Amino acid sequence: MKRLRITVEGVAYDVEVELLEDDEVTGYGAVPGTGSGPMLQSPSPVSSPRPTPIPASSPPAASTPSTDGTAPPASGGAEKELTSPIAGILVEIKVKPGDTVKVNDPVVVIEAMKMNTNVHSPVAGKIKEIRIQAGEAVKQGHILMTFE
């Protein structure tokens, strides 16, 4: 173990560090051009257990739009939902309950990482319910609205 004092933004921290290899042998910690040793070398790979693959889930079935960009309205009593494709803050709702939309009409805007993303209607139909308000945080997969 080696004791070091590290200063970060003017605050000094006393820490203990376990050296896995000698500094002089590997060249770690050397500052180029100072004569304090060889230049920094690439570290040797660390062996770790191989990650277990996670089976991919099948994507939800999507409605097939017709050639004019519209799809038949939702029918059969099945509730159609629009879920958030990303996590972020809902900054704008472009529709209200009762509005009729076509496939790919922009319906909400979500801000993530200082970038606005338009979210489009996956189906043609009438807006049944909006389940979120502007300014609220959403997670990926959060239900934003339902269609009749």
Q: Domain residues of the chain, as ranges?
A: 1-38, 80-147
Read off the tokens for 32: 């180029």
By the 8 A CB rule, do 99 and 148 touch? no
Cα–Cα distance between 82 and 126 in angstroms, integer? 12
Side chain identity at residue 87, one-letter code: A
> What's the pTM value of the predicted model, to 2 decimals?
0.48
Tens digit of pLDDT for each residue in 87-120?
999 999 999 999 999 999 999 999 999 999 999 9
Instruction: Give the CATH number of domain 80-147.
Output: 2.40.50.100
Cα–Cα distance between 96 and 94 in angstroms, integer? 7
| Of 133 and 77, the one with more pLDDT | 133
- How many helices and strands, by DSSP H and E, does the chain display? 1, 10
By the 8 A CB rule, do 103 and 70 touch? yes
Tens digit of pLDDT for each residue in 53-85?
555 544 444 444 433 443 444 444 446 899 999
